[in-house]
Amino acid sequence: MRTTDAPMTKVLPLLAALALTAAQYAIWRYAPVEATMGLVQKIFYYHLPMSWWAMVSFFIVFAASIAYLVKRDPRWDRLAGAAAEIGVLLATLALVTGSLWARPIWNTWWTWDPRLTTTLIMWFVYAAYLLLRSAEAGGARGPTVRAVLGVVAFLDVPLVFYSARMWRSVHPAVFGAKGGGLEPEMWTTVLVSVSAFGLLWLWMLLARVAQLSQAQRLDALMVWDEEDR
């Protein structure tokens, strides 16, 4: 999983910057202002992509953890760690932007809605996963312990996605029976925003995996140097 010299890691930052610039134009100039919520609705174009790519990140943690348990290859453990870090970052930003939207619309920063509650639980679970990684708990069996937690933690992710449909929720359903009430220009802006954040997500993931790989090599060199002494 060598990524430091891969052409993709050199091209992706430029593609992500261009896509994010296009997304800004679409959000503020192309998409119409929503009649009821006004300009605050435009937070949606940031909130939704960050929420989706956070869940994609956690799926990567899930898949990479299974791969590690099967193959015992440390590259999968590094991929799971990188995806978890990015997922927690995006989930944090999704919670913050959701609160910024909720304040003028619901007249409160937070409510214990099923979607919000399950999302917060998901955030705590993966934050605990990162704390476990940073503490290097489990010693030699640490990667196995982390992989098991990475698999179990994913149980909450589908619950977050379906919570607004399973229980009575005030959280708006984007993909309702009538398209969630979005105009065609809004749908285009959603697609542009999701794609732009996807390019940014992929670049961050590859860059972070490369950093973790280099850090592991440096640690190994330090151990060998100490043994030579």
Q: What is the pLDDT of residues 93-114, one digit of tens each?
A: 999 999 999 899 888 888 888 8
Q: Which domain holds residue 113?
A: 6-31+40-228
61 contacts 128 by C-beta, under 8 angstroms: no
CB atoms within 10 A of CB 227: 7
Confidence of residue 169 (pLDDT cuts 50, 70, 90): low
Checking if the pLDDT of 1 tops 50, the result is: no
Is the sign of the CA dihedral 7, 8, 13, 17 positive or negative? positive
Q: How confident is the model at residue 3, as a pLDDT?
A: 44
CATH number at residue 63: 1.20.120
Please enumerate in sequence order all residues whose Cβ is within 8 A of that of 77, keeping only pairs 6 or more positions apart, or say none: 64, 68, 143, 146, 147
Cα–Cα dist 222/64, whole Å: 27
Model's pTM, two decimal places? 0.86
The answer to the question of residue 69 being in a domain is yes
The answer to the question of residue 91 being in a domain is yes
Cα–Cα dist 140/210, whole Å: 22
Cα–Cα dist 41/101, whole Å: 7
Confidence of residue 180 (pLDDT cuts 50, 70, 90): low
Confidence of residue 35 (pLDDT cuts 50, 70, 90): confident
Q: How confident is the model at residue 149, as a pLDDT?
A: 93
Domain count, the chain: 1
CB atoms within 10 A of CB 11: 12
The answer to the question of residue 129 being in a domain is yes
The answer to the question of residue 1 being in a domain is no
